[in-house]
A and B are shown apart, each in its own frame.
Chain A
Amino acid sequence: MRLVALTVFCLLLSGVAGAAAYFFPVVVAGVGQTGQTVIIPPSVTLGAKTTPAPAASPGAPFTVLLLGSDDDSKFASDHVLTQSMILVRVDPQSRHVAMLSIPRDLWLPLSSGGSGKIDWAYSNGGPSAAMATVERNFHVHIDEYAWIGLKGLIKLIDQLGGIDVLVTNPVLDDFYPDDIGGGYAFGAKRVAVLPGAQHLDGSQALQYVRSRHNDINGDFGRSARQQEVLLAIKAKASTLNAADLPDIVTALKGEFKTSMGLDRVRSLLGVASGFDLANVQQVVLYAPTYTYYPGYYINGNSVVLPHWNQILPVVKASFP
C-alpha cells in the first residue's frame, strides 16, 4: 500500500515538474515582462488632473494603451519613440472594442513638461509618461499599457504562423527604414506590398504597417493599416491555447512588456475569441477633421495639431 502511494506521489511530482518545465518561459515572462509597475507622474505643465481610477474589476471594461516602437540602435535602451499609439477599450460584457489611433506627430503638452510630439512622451519618461500624456490631453482613464518592439511584432506574427490581410492599395516605399538587421541604423530599402488578400509573415506585416512615405494619408494611412493588422492578429490569437504560450513568450523575450498581470492577459486572450469584427469601432484622427497640418515646422519638427473640439467628443463617446 505504501509502495503504491509512494509511486503515485512520485509520478505526480514528476508530472508537475514536467509541466513546470514546459511553462517555465511563461513564468519567467510573467515575472519579467507582465505586471510592470506604472506610476503616473504628477503633471508638470498640464492643468488637468486625471484621478487614478480604481483597478477595473473582473469583467468590467478596461482601457489599454498599445505602444509600438523603434527599438533599434538609433536609440538608447528604453528611450525609444512610439511610432504607434493605439488606445483600446475592451468591454468583456458587451464584447465591444473601441480603437483610437493617435498620430505620432501630434503636438501637445507632455506630462514630463513642455510641449512636443506625442511619440516623445515614451522616450522621455517611459510608459508612465506616455500614459499620463494621453490621459491628460484626451481626458480618458487608462488602466494598462502594452509595449512591443519592431522585432517583437515580427516574432509574434511569425509565431502565429502569419496573418491574413486584405491590402487595399499598393504600399510602395523607396525610403523604408532598413534598421532591423543590425546594420547601419539609418539605412533605407525599397519595399512593395501588392494589393489584394494575402497571407503575410512577420517581416511583410511590419513593412505593411510601418511604411508611410508613399501614403497619401501619411501617418494616418499607416494608423489605419496598423488597426487592420491588430485585428488580424486578434483573429489569429483567438485560436491559441495555453500550450502555445511558452513559444510565444520565448519569441517575445525583451520585445514586449505590459502592466497587465498574467490574469488579465489570459482573460484578454479568452475574450478575444468571442469578439465579432462588427463590434469593433475603429477611429483614426485623420486631418483635416480631427487634426490639421499647420503649414510650418515647430522647432524644426513636422507636426500635426489637434482640433480638440472634434477629438474630445469622439473620445468621450468611445472611451466613457
Chain B
Amino acid sequence: MILRRLAALLFVPLMVAFGSGVYLYLGTLKSKVVKEHAQLPTVTKPKFVLPGTMFVVQDGRIFKLNAGSFTEIGPAGDWSQPALTPDHTRLLAVARAGASSDLYLLDLGGQIVKRLTKNDSKILDANHWAYYPRVSPDGATLFFSFDSPKLVKAAPGVDLSVWSMPLNGTQSQARRWTDPYWYTGGDVSPIPVVGGGLLYVRHSIDPSTAVHAQIYYQTRPFGTGKALTSLADDCSEPALSPDGTQLAMVCSRGKQTAALEVAPFDGGVLGPAKVLLDSGLYASPAWSPDGKALAYLAPAGAAGHFQLWYLALPLPAASATASTSAAGASPASTPRPTTTPAPLAPVQVTQGVDLTGTSAPAWY
C-alpha cells in the first residue's frame, strides 16, 4: 500500500514533466516566419567580404561594413539613406523625428558635422520631409527631395520635389528643380551628374490613372525633363556607376516583383537596358568602387528580412546608343533587347539581419 502511494507520488511529477515537455516541444515546431527575429549586423559575420567600405541602415541605425566586419556609427536617432560626398570624406544622412525629417552632414565615424535642414514645426502640417540627399560631382551642391510647396485644395497635397542648395550654405538658399505630378508622391532619388544635369525619378499616371515611376533627366531648374524610361517599365532607384557611364535601376512593370537592370548612360541618353536579375524584390542598387559589381538589397529566407547581396558584372556594358526622345515625352518603350536574365550568380553577403530596403548602401 505504501509502495503504491509512493509510486503514485512519483508519477505526478513525471506526468507534469512529460506534459510540459510536450508543450515545449510543440513550441519548437513553430515556423521560421514566427520564430526568426532579425539580428543587429554587429553580431553577425558577413558570408562574403566586400571590397572597400560600405554604409548600410537597419532600424534607424547606420552600420559601417569594412573588411568583413560591421560597426555601428552615428548618434542615436532614426537615421536612413546615407550617401557619400564625392571626395569620400563626409557622409550625408536623413534623420527622422516624428513628423519631419532633416538632412545632416556627418564625418565617416558618424559624428554630426552640420545640420543641413530644419524641417520640424509645432504645427503638424508645417512640418516637412527631406529625403534622398546627394552631392553634385564637384562637391558644391546638395540635391534632395523635399515636400514643399504643399498644395492646398480640397485634398491636401504632400508631394516631393527635387531641390538643391549649396552644401556649405543654408536652407534659405535652396532652390526647387522639379514640379511634381501632384498626389502621386512626387519626385525622388535625385542624382546630379557631371555637367550640371540631374537624374531623378518622377511619378505620374497613365490614362487609366495607374501611378508609374520613370527615370527623368533634366539640365536646369524647372527645365523640361526628358523621360529616359517608359511609363510601362516602372523604373526607379537609379544608381550611376563611378565613371558615370552606366545606370543601374529597378524596373517593376506594374507588378509586385521587379528586375534589376543596367543600361549605358551617356550624359542624357540611356542605351539598351540589360536585365541582370528578374522577378524578385530587388531594392537600392549601389555600384562597387571599381564599377565592376553591384550591391543591392533583397529578402532572403522565410522571414523576408532584407539582406545585402553582391553581384559581379560579367561584361562591360555597350556604349550608349542614339536612343533619343523628345523633351518631356515618354518613350513608348525603353530599348531592352535582353528579356532573358543573364545567368548571373548573386552572392548573399549578410545573413539574419534586416536592412532597410529604402536606404541604398553607400560604398567607396
Report which A residues bind B (CB closer than 8 A).
3, 7, 10-11, 13-15, 17-19, 21-23, 159-166, 168-175, 188-190, 192, 194-199, 213-218, 220-221, 228, 231-232, 236, 239-244, 247, 277, 286, 289
Q: Assess the B33–A244 pair: CB atoms within 8 A.
A: yes
30 A-B interface contacts by CB (under 8 A): A3-B7, A14-B19, A14-B22, A18-B19, A21-B23, A161-B37, A161-B303, A161-B304, A162-B303, A162-B304, A162-B305, A166-B256, A174-B150, A175-B156, A189-B124, A190-B127, A190-B129, A195-B185, A195-B201, A197-B298, A198-B358, A214-B157, A214-B185, A216-B183, A216-B211, A217-B211, A239-B32, A240-B33, A241-B30, A243-B27
With a CB–CB cut-off of 8 A, which chain B residues contact A231?
256
Interface residues of B in 251-272 (CB under 8 A from A): 252, 255-258
Bound together, the chains give a CA A314 to CA B269 distance in angstroms of 43
Bound together, the chains give a CA A190 to CA B163 distance in angstroms of 21
Q: Assess the A173–B158 pair: CB atoms within 8 A.
A: yes
Known: A169-B213, A170-B188, A199-B357. A13 touches B15 (CB 8 A): yes
Q: Assess the A214–B203 pair: CB atoms within 8 A.
A: no
Q: Assess the B185–A170 pair: CB atoms within 8 A.
A: yes
With a CB–CB cut-off of 8 A, which chain A residues contact B284?
196
Bound together, the chains give a CA A169 to CA B26 distance in angstroms of 42
With a CB–CB cut-off of 8 A, which chain A residues contact B303?
161-162
Q: Assess the B32–A168 pair: CB atoms within 8 A.
A: no
Contact of A216 among B15, B129, B205 (CB under 8 A): B205
Closest Cβ neighbor of B151 among chain A residues: A214
With a CB–CB cut-off of 8 A, which chain B residues contact A286?
208-209
| B36 in contact (CB, < 8 A) | yes
| B159 in contact (CB, < 8 A) | yes
Q: Assess the B160–A19 pair: CB atoms within 8 A.
A: no
Interface of A is mostly: mixed
Closest Cβ neighbor of B131 among chain A residues: A194
With a CB–CB cut-off of 8 A, which chain A residues contact B357?
196-199
Nearest CB of chain A from residue B288's CB, rounded to whole Å? 20
With a CB–CB cut-off of 8 A, which chain A residues contact B306?
197-199
Count, A-B residue pairs, CB within 8 A: 202
With a CB–CB cut-off of 8 A, which chain A residues contact B237?
196
Closest Cβ neighbor of B150 among chain A residues: A174
Interface residues of B in 74-117 (CB under 8 A from A): 98-101
Chain B count of residues within 8 A CB distance of the other chain: 78
| B9 in contact (CB, < 8 A) | no
Q: Assess the A18–B18 pair: CB atoms within 8 A.
A: yes
Q: Assess the A214–B124 pair: CB atoms within 8 A.
A: no
With a CB–CB cut-off of 8 A, which chain B residues contact A3?
7
Closest Cβ neighbor of B99 among chain A residues: A190
Known: A18-B19, A197-B250. A214 touches B256 (CB 8 A): no
Interface residues of B in 10-65 (CB under 8 A from A): 11, 14-16, 18-23, 26-27, 29-34, 36-37
| B364 in contact (CB, < 8 A) | no
Known: A171-B185, A198-B358. A243 touches B29 (CB 8 A): yes
Report which B residues bind A (CB closer than 8 A).
7, 11, 14-16, 18-23, 26-27, 29-34, 36-37, 98-101, 124-125, 127, 129, 131, 147, 150, 155-160, 181-186, 188, 201, 203, 205, 208-209, 211-213, 234, 236-237, 250, 252, 255-258, 281-284, 297-299, 302-306, 354, 356-358
Top 6 A-B pairs ranked by shortest CB distance? A170-B185, A18-B22, A198-B357, A18-B19, A14-B15, A216-B183
Nearest CB of chain A from residue B236's CB, rounded to whole Å? 6
Bound together, the chains give a CA A3 to CA B29 distance in angstroms of 32
Bound together, the chains give a CA A195 to CA B303 distance in angstroms of 21
With a CB–CB cut-off of 8 A, which chain B residues contact A17?
15, 19
Bound together, the chains give a CA A21 to CA B23 distance in angstroms of 7
Bound together, the chains give a CA A19 to CA B183 distance in angstroms of 53
Q: A18-B20, A164-B281, A170-B160 are in contact. List 13 more A-B contacts (CB 8 A).
A: A164-B304, A166-B257, A173-B158, A196-B283, A196-B357, A196-B358, A197-B357, A199-B354, A214-B158, A239-B302, A241-B30, A286-B208, A286-B209
Closest Cβ neighbor of A6 among chain B residues: B11
Bound together, the chains give a CA A11 to CA B17 distance in angstroms of 10
Contact of B30 among A19, A199, A215, A244 (CB under 8 A): A244
Bound together, the chains give a CA A216 to CA B182 distance in angstroms of 7
Contact of B258 among A197, A216, A242, A244 (CB under 8 A): A197
Q: Assess the A172–B236 pair: CB atoms within 8 A.
A: no
With a CB–CB cut-off of 8 A, which chain B residues contact A218?
155
Closest Cβ neighbor of B354 among chain A residues: A199
Contact of A22 among B22, B34, B297, B298 (CB under 8 A): B22
Nearest CB of chain B from residue A295's CB, rounded to whole Å? 12
Closest Cβ neighbor of B23 among chain A residues: A18
Bound together, the chains give a CA A213 to CA B185 distance in angstroms of 11
Contact of B15 among A10, A168, A236, A244 (CB under 8 A): A10
Nearest CB of chain A from residue B228's CB, rounded to whole Å? 17
Residue of A21, A199, A220 with most partner-chain B CB within 10 A: A199
Bound together, the chains give a CA A174 to CA B123 distance in angstroms of 11
With a CB–CB cut-off of 8 A, which chain B residues contact A173?
158
